[in-house]
A and B are shown apart, each in its own frame.
Chain A
Amino acid sequence: MTASSVAAEYNWLFWILVVVCGVVSTGIAFVVLYSAWYFRRKRDNELPPPSISNSVKMEAAWTLIPLFLFMGMFAWGAKLYFDIERPPDDAEQIYVVAKQWMWKTQRPDGIREINELHVPVGQSVKLLMISQDVVHSFYVPAFRIKQDVLPGRYTSIWFRAIKPGKYHLFCAEYCGTNHSQMIGWIYAMEQPQYQAWLQQGAAEGSLASDGEKLFHQGGCANCHHFDGHGPGPDLRGLYGTTVELADGTTTVADDVYIRRKLMDPRATTVRGFDKNVMPNFSKLVTEEDAIQLIAYIRSLGPAPTAPSSIGTAPDSYGKQPGIAYPGAGPIVNHTPGMQ
């Protein structure tokens, strides 16, 4: 099973460990069984001839040799872990909301799936995940990836499928009665099939357009005016910028920050808005809503000083033509229109 970009290296390391450990274990087993046979007791009162029972050299050898082996395993394992944990810059971002007992995925173009996720082969996909209730874990054995999905906090994992196919998605952290039913499928498809799938799965609106509706329904616009004179900050161009806080520190306005502003507004106070009258929305919005609102704020224009990884390609998502979609990867250009 080498279905993802990290799987081949994973398998190499795994089987090298099997060989190394197998050789050492066999060696130990051989000495034990050989001694048990060759030095077996011949008489009931037998006292074996005196032999050494202490050797600093041997102790040093079987301390240091394993230590070196272990350091090798540690280093390679850590390197692989970095590969698994650190997404490449061109990864397409897909949101995952886990709840008892299903996986919901949302992508920027608005296509949502339950217990399924379709991805193109060769495209790096970064999953930004959060749980609505208890701890879950997103596990795709064939991709050799796993990441716990926590309530109240985004975690992420990425993969790049390299072989078309249908792969198991398991919940790997026990999450209640139907834990063993919280399974789904990842479909890795070649680009043509993937495009065909996108065509038939066209959503009614993009994430951002759904977020825009929520933005107005929830009364956000009452404070966050788009002229810079409201009781709350103007959110245009916010996403991706550095925000100065009242306590003199700064933070980057990313998904984590904006979600926290919604769910836990007092955690940070933006400089110039010291009263911080932002109400707490944690009881009103679900994690899916939050993702849509973040997508909307993100769509409100690129940050002036945004890093280059945030794409500025013309975007055809949603109802607001000309809005760049930060983080959207190459397949943006192939995305069919939504109207």
Chain B
Amino acid sequence: MTTPQAPPAAPSHIDYLSERQGIWPWLLTTDHKRIGLLYTASITGFFFIGGFFALLMRLHLLEPKGALFGLETYNKLFTMHGIIMVWFFLIPSIPGTLGNFLIPMMIGAKDLAFPKLNLASWYVFMTGGIVTLYSMLRGGVDTGWTFYVPFSTTYSTAYVAGAAIGIFIAGFSSIMTGLNFIVTIHRMRAPGMTWFRMPIFLWSMYATSLVLVLATPVLAITLLMVIFERLFRVGIFDPSLGGDPVLFQHMFWFYSHPAVYIMILPAMAVISEIIPTFSRKPIFGYTAVAYSSLGIAVVGFLVWGHHMFVAGLSVYSAMAFSFLSYLVAIPSAIKVFNWTATMVKGSVSWDTPMLYAIGFLGLFTIGGMTGLFLAALGIDVHVTDTYFVVAHFHYIMVGGAVMGYLGGVHYWWPKISGKMYPEGLARLSALIVFIGFNLTFFPQFILGYLGMPRRYAAYPDEFQFLHVLSTAGATILGVGYILPLCYLIWSWKYGKPAGRNPWRATGLEWQTSSPPPSHNFEVTPVCTHPAYDFEGMKEELELA
């Protein structure tokens, strides 16, 4: 039953990028690293499409009556911005790109457990994306990314079903990715790589995958019901046909609140790698940080009701959801304190990834703290559905998830491309992102407190000043995002060779060449150190 196996992976100078060239070797690859790059290209495209919509919205809101568009166009813009950013950028962002690229290397495996499934997930994702984009080109969607019924099932005249089908399809790609990661982390670890020697990145991705696998099906079925009800005019959620619109909200948020953790946990994963590397210290409180990821994933499933405090919940169920929402804030707080403590007494460098990590710490703290406001029942009543909420979740999604993503891309760029990016320009753009972001979104907290409702195409005059500030910030932010796109592409070709381990980091992924060979390691590595063991690896890393 046995046949001789092919000779071991080719010598090191053939890396995964140069191995087989041409369009088909890329489109039919089962190499997790190439699939990671396919995802990177796709989500970058979606990010700039979604960002373009955001910029148009910000420009429109320069004037109280709206500067550019009619009401309906504006409504479609914020809907499409939300749909694209949530499902086609944020959710696949770090798992699809860095997760795919790094998980096998970090655990010392040759690939994910199911490479073909991994490739299939990208095709499914692109199919969903194209269906959604097509329905947007056909006329757009105007329901908001939340698809609240009965507006989406009965009243909207836009291409709701098309967009929902696209999201439904993309959901399966999430499930495939999550399943692949869980099995890989369980079964594919290299000899010696015990659970508690794993880098925190893997713990966080594991928690993310749990949420992907358990929450996404609920969204899929909920959207399927909306599509069914809309296309066949039968009652499921529409109250005029006996349905319950609040049931829809429960089912939608049962997915969409955990989805927040699908977006932020991977960013926490990245930050948990960057801070130890650039502080040259083991992460403070490894066990606490590892378990807090799982805590977030589990408790995160029990707090969806805090999106519905004014939706007609009974006061007692609202209290339960409020209480649980405070509990889910604890693991996040633990992480922030531990990251901070990791920096203390370290050797802290100011390389670009670390700048993003420090920016993340600040912005995520603000985003998390304002979450405490929204979890307080009485406070939520006034500020929910206002710009306060908009600012809050952008601090988490953009200040947290996108900063984490950019930090991660810069951190692992030498590994991915084998090249260094121009450091000065990179630091400058990190600064521009930080300033632009705060100028865009901090005024929105004030707008919300003053009572400016979200999703308004026009607004009373007294809010104009803060809107203008926000738009000014958005243009700066836009520059901050375009810069890395340019210099990273430039460095792909012209950057200085990075070498195996430019940061002197400890993870297994840095033990192999940059870019890595197709099978990652010429010899299956054996893990002999706990994670972040700078002291134990000081000879190897030439530290003193």
Q: Is A51 an interface residue, CB under 8 A from the partner?
A: yes
Q: Is B340 an interface residue, CB under 8 A from the partner?
A: yes
Binds A, one of B94-102, B165-173, B197-205, B445-453: B445-453
* CB <8 Å contact, B453 and A100: no
Question: Interface size of B by Cβ–Cβ distance < 8 Å?
Answer: 99
Chain B residue numbers with a CB within 8 Å of A71 are: 326
* CB <8 Å contact, A24 and B280: no
Binds A, one of B4-12, B224-232, B367-375: B367-375
* CB <8 Å contact, A176 and B156: yes
* CB <8 Å contact, B148 and A173: yes
* CB <8 Å contact, A176 and B538: no
* CB <8 Å contact, B283 and A53: yes
> A225 CA to B287 CA in the complex, in Å?
74
Pick from A55, A82, A150, A282: contact of B246, CB under 8 Å: A150
* CB <8 Å contact, B376 and A77: yes
Pick from B323, B337, B455: contact of A179, CB under 8 Å: B455
> A180 CA to B449 CA in the complex, in Å?
18
> A69 CA to B534 CA in the complex, in Å?
36
Pick from B148, B149, B319, B334: contact of A62, CB under 8 Å: B334
Pick from B151, B344, B382, B449: contact of A176, CB under 8 Å: B151
Chain B residue numbers with a CB within 8 Å of A155 are: 312
CB distance from B154 to the nearest CB of A (A): 8
> A264 CA to B146 CA in the complex, in Å?
29
B511-544 Cβ-contact flags toward A at 8 Å (1 or 0): 0000000000000000000000011001001111
- Nearest B residue (CB) for A156: B312
* CB <8 Å contact, B240 and A174: no
Pick from B280, B315, B354, B373: contact of A48, CB under 8 Å: B280
* CB <8 Å contact, B239 and A151: yes
* CB <8 Å contact, B71 and A21: no
Chain A residue numbers with a CB within 8 Å of B455 are: 174, 179-180
- Nearest A residue (CB) for B343: A35
A76-B376, A80-B379, A81-B377 given as contacts; is B385 within 8 A of A29 (CB)?
no
* CB <8 Å contact, B144 and A77: no
> A277 CA to B281 CA in the complex, in Å?
78
Q: Is A31 an interface residue, CB under 8 A from the partner?
A: yes
* CB <8 Å contact, A32 and B358: yes
Question: Which residue of A25, A54, A76 has the most chain B CB atoms within 10 A of its CB atom?
Answer: A54
Q: Is A28 an interface residue, CB under 8 A from the partner?
A: yes
* CB <8 Å contact, B453 and A170: yes
Pick from B71, B245, B280, B354: contact of A47, CB under 8 Å: B280
Question: Interface size of A by Cβ–Cβ distance < 8 Å?
Answer: 85
Chain A residue numbers with a CB within 8 Å of B425 are: none
* CB <8 Å contact, A39 and B456: no
* CB <8 Å contact, B312 and A148: yes
Q: Is A247 an interface residue, CB under 8 A from the partner?
A: no
Chain B residue numbers with a CB within 8 Å of A177 are: 71-72, 75, 142
Chain A residue numbers with a CB within 8 Å of B504 are: 45
* CB <8 Å contact, A66 and B329: yes
> A235 CA to B34 CA in the complex, in Å?
74
- Nearest A residue (CB) for B70: A177
* CB <8 Å contact, B282 and A53: yes
* CB <8 Å contact, B333 and A66: yes
A83-B378, A144-B381 given as contacts; is B365 within 8 A of A25 (CB)?
yes
CB distance from A47 to the nearest CB of B (A): 4
Q: Is B24 an interface residue, CB under 8 A from the partner?
A: no
- Nearest B residue (CB) for A170: B453
Question: Which residue of B365, B372, B457 has the most chain A CB atoms within 10 A of its CB atom?
Answer: B372
* CB <8 Å contact, B543 and A47: yes
* CB <8 Å contact, A151 and B245: yes
Q: Is B495 an interface residue, CB under 8 A from the partner?
A: no
A13-B379, A168-B451 given as contacts; is B286 within 8 A of A53 (CB)?
yes
* CB <8 Å contact, A78 and B319: yes
**Other A-B pairs, 18, CB within 8 Å; known A35-B279, A58-B341, A81-B380:** A24-B369, A28-B340, A31-B343, A31-B344, A47-B534, A48-B280, A54-B284, A59-B338, A62-B333, A70-B329, A134-B151, A134-B155, A137-B310, A151-B240, A176-B142, A177-B71, A179-B457, A180-B458
What are 15 A-B contacts defined by CB distance under 8 Å? Answer: A14-B449, A21-B372, A29-B365, A41-B347, A53-B285, A54-B284, A59-B338, A62-B337, A84-B381, A100-B155, A135-B311, A145-B381, A152-B244, A153-B246, A174-B143
